[in-house]
Amino acid sequence: MKIIGLDIGNAEVNTSEGVHFPSRVKIGVNNMNKDDIKVNFEGLDFTIGQGSNNIGLNKYKNINFKISVLVGIAKSFKENDIECNVVIGCPIETFNKNKEIVKDIKGIIESWGKQTIVIEQGESKEIKVIDIKNVAIFCESGIVFKNRERFSKEKTLVVDIGGGTRDDSLWDGLDLVECKSNDKMGMINLYETIIKEVNRRNKSNLNFDDAKAMIGKKEYKINQEIVDISYIDIIIENFVTGFMSEINQIFPFSNVDSIQFVGGGAILLKEYITRLIPKAEVPSNAEFLNAETYREVGELMWS
């Protein structure tokens, strides 16, 4: 039986098989970019890569979440008929304090039964039949379980920088001591600050995808011209310094053995994070580490 870990974020979906795509889903198909994914599900067409981010505590109840889960599974395996067990992530604060929501997420996915979905991307078109046999929910940021030999002996601070939120959790060995979520410090907030300033200076109409692409660059093509954007470095550093200060007040860096930064935001901000915090570590697979942890948890449960 296949086992897959799914990290369904507010901005992106990451799977334990190294697949990732935006969690933005829009009804209908028009003006598709080359990277957009067209989906037909239950007679309706959807475009992944367009539309609004799927944000909110109850996001798992809407069709965007269901499509993200099914597409994540479909793109992770070559087979057209897929039977699998799924471990899916839940924000650590919710997982720790609201077991009814955890139970609800599990029940909703288990109720789906066998699903058929048609996926088109570029020249490829696939019809996938997906049958989820078992479901487990595990906490986001619980990456200490991925390397139990190391982290069971350490006090670890995990900072998970996602699209819509930032989750901070303190672990004593493999025991969760305390956790806190912040929905004002996700990468979307940084993208918004960057793009407002860039659009103001250039009288342009760029979007969050452009802001993401600008990070780490000194120049960018705007209105058909290559222009200087080195000033966004100050915006990014101020963003990182701000959340570092906030975290340090709640979970003093001096009290932990290491600080593990995970999530897509950690990869984008690695240069700033490692420069500003000596104890900081950004694993090379930080973007997929949650999903990979979920798969390992599933392998322990169902092996």
| Average pLDDT, 10 consecutive residues per value, the chain (303 residues) | 95 96 89 80 93 74 94 98 97 92 96 97 92 97 95 97 94 96 88 98 95 97 97 98 96 96 97 93 96 97 91
- Predicted confidence at residue 185, as pLDDT, reads 82
Answer for the pair 295, 4: CB distance below 8 angstroms, yes or no: yes
First to last CA, the chain: 9
- The matching CATH number, chosen from 3.50.50.60, 2.60.40.10, 3.30.420.40, 3.10.20.440, for 143-282 is 3.30.420.40
User: So what's the pLDDT on residue 157?
Assistant: 98
Return d(Cα 286, Cα 12) in angstroms, integer. 13
Contact 90, 107 (CB under 8 A): no
Residue that the structure tokens 């190294």 belong to: 18
Q: What is the pLDDT of residue 303?
A: 83
Give pLDDT, residue 183: 79
Say what the pLDDT of residue 176 is: 97
Cα distances (angstroms) measured from residue 299 to each of 44, 59, 87, 290: 35, 27, 10, 14
Segments of the chain assigned to CATH 3.30.420.40: 2-139, 143-282
- Amino acid residing at 143: I
* Cα angle for residues 92, 95, 99 (degrees, 5° grid): 165
Q: How far is CA 90 from CA 54, 55, 62, 104, 137, in A?
A: 14, 13, 15, 11, 7
Count of residues making up the chain? 303
pLDDT at 54 (0 to 100): 65
Per residue, the 3-state secondary structure of the chain, as one string, reads CEEEEEEECCCEEEECCCCEEECCEEECCCCCCCCCEEEEECCEEEEECECCCCCCCCHHHCHHHHHHHHHHHHHHCCCCEEEEEEEEEECHHHHHHCHHHHHHHHHHHHCCCCEEEEEEECCEEEEEEEEEEEEEEEECCCHHHCCHHHHCCCEEEEEEECCCCEEEEEEECCEEEEEEEECCCCHHHHHHHHHHHHHHHHCCCCCHHHHHHHCCCCEEEECCEEEECCCHHHHHHHHHHHHHHHHHHHCCHHHCCEEEEECHHHHHCHHHHHHHCCCEECCCCCCCHHHHHHHHHHHHHHC
Single pTM value for the model? 0.93
State the pLDDT at residue 10. Answer: 87
Q: At what angle do helices 232-250 and 187-202 cross, to 10 degrees?
A: 160
CB atoms within 10 A of CB 179: 23
- Asked if the 2-139 domain carries CATH number 3.30.420.40, the reply is yes
Give the model's pLDDT for residue 125. Answer: 92
Q: 174 and 144 in contact (C-beta within 8 Å)?
A: yes
Tokens of residue 177, six digits: 């001591």
